[in-house]
Structure 1
């Protein structure tokens, strides 16, 4: 585990840059994390980020792409549009959560 500073916030991250303590995340940090992977957050992004944070608090693990899609009513194709390439991984990263299980 490494401590790094993002937008003036000291956070603990793993070797892939994911926060290791979801409690260190804040809504002020999310746009900075998004910018690091080339994203600019919109209201659609925030809806998914807030869902992921709430779902993680309730379930104890990061939601899979399928769960995000079914629970939010967002088609998988739209998730790929908002978080291009690897949407599950990118959603978790910006949300300050661990990668979903099965995500490479």
Structure 2
């Protein structure tokens, strides 16, 4: 597994830059990851990220966009506004989770 330095510390990532160690993530790291893709986190972003992390802990896999919308209660249109173009992939990246199945 590759290791990269983000926010001044070594982080384990896969070949696409997604974190591979759930426990290495924290809010400070999330802000750094979001900044790398041009997103400034708001309370609405944190709602999605919190849902993703809790759902991952319970389900063992990263939630799809549909699951975040239906189960997390965040409309798909809002997710596209918060995480433009590829919301599922961007949410997973910032949340420190593996890329959702089905994302290219």
* 1:37-52 map, 5 Å: 37-52=37-52
2:4 is aligned with 1:4: yes
How far apart, in 1, do the equivalents of 2:73 and 2:56 lie? 18
The list of structure 1 runs, each at least 4 consecutive aligned residues, that deviate by more than 6 angstroms after superposition, is none
How far apart, in 2, do the equivalents of 1:89 and 1:42 lie? 18
How far apart, in 1, do the equivalents of 2:95 and 2:59 lie? 15
Q: CA RMSD in A?
A: 0.7
CA drift of 1:72 comes to 2.0
CA drift of 1:9 comes to 1.9
* 1:27-42 map, 5 Å: 27-42=27-42
Residue 88 of structure 2 corresponds to 88
Question: How many positions carry a matched residue from both structures?
Answer: 104
How far apart, in 2, do the equivalents of 1:92 and 1:73 lie? 17
TM-score by length of 1: 0.97
TM-score by length of 2: 0.97
* Stretches of structure 1 lacking an aligned partner (at least 5 in a row): none
* Stretches of structure 2 lacking an aligned partner (at least 5 in a row): none
Residue 16 of structure 2 corresponds to 16
